[in-house]
Structure 1
């Protein structure tokens, strides 16, 4: 990769990181590409060099945040013994949530945005995670794998709500 290509990739990554923070802090509809540019320490036109619209920037931010969750879960599934699988997945999600809180807030906000592309991105991510967890639970020979996978996902959503509204009691138990 040439130096200018590497710089371009890094700048694109910087823009996505800045967008995640801005969208999480002020919300997608109130956020502007100017705020994202300021956070990334670049000019606003440079944002548009990589992302034609604010929606395409949001989609890239969502893709980055979901990729992190999916890859983290995949590593747990591939490296954990079957008897510890569910516990290790929960621990991994708690770790992701604490390290990448803005990404979780971004995902929660995106669930309420009615644009087709955003809804499709959210649906695809939830389906991918559900399928990965369900297959892992089935392969581990867990009884009621479907119900346990659904409860795992429900617990994750509830944990996101708990973090968003600062009510840790929702995560107990």
Structure 2
């Protein structure tokens, strides 16, 4: 007997489909009908849970939470001298395993709707504070500047990946 999907499972399926569709064709060009098709459900079922805008916001929140969870794992296990390298490796893994989420964040940086901008600001702020606090606790010199450099490098990694120009990145 097949197990029936719960509404929380279906919500997750919808968000997963939205990440793929929005990343592939862009938020403005994508439709909830395309998301529904990718999730193998009806469009009215998508609207049971989301508007198009709230679907993007939830997708962005998912992507930020994935980064935060990965960074927290590194922070809780890495020796201070391995902290930055561990964070870089964790982010590189996310870039490879969840490329569409990173592409979605990149797109969302240019979207002006308040809820989307708020989701981006909240996520970036959480990551910034998490990394800076970890650098401070590891007694890294000039933790604020080191955090800014770390975030800037992450943005460059995103651009490098998005336009398939690995030579933008300096090898460690």
TM-score by length of 1: 0.95
Q: Secondary structure at the match of 2:101?
A: helix
Q: Map 1:43-122 onto structure 2 (within 5 A).
A: 43-51=42-50, 53-122=51-120
Kindly provide the CA deviation profile for residues 24-79 of structure 1, in whole angstroms up to 9, marking residues without a partner as x. Answer: 0000000000000000000100000111x100110111111111011111111111
Q: Secondary structure at the match of 1:84?
A: helix
Once the 2 structures are TM-superposed, how far is the Cα of residue 92 of structure 1 from its aligned partner? 0.6
RMSD of aligned C-alpha atoms?
A: 1.1
Once the 2 structures are TM-superposed, how far is the Cα of residue 172 of structure 1 from its aligned partner? 2.1
Give the gaps of 5 or more residues in structure 1: none
Aligned to 1:36: 35
**Are residues 1:19 and 2:18 paired?**
yes
Give the gaps of 5 or more residues in structure 2: none
Q: Secondary structure at the match of 1:166?
A: coil
TM-score by length of 2: 0.96
Moved over 4 A (4+): none
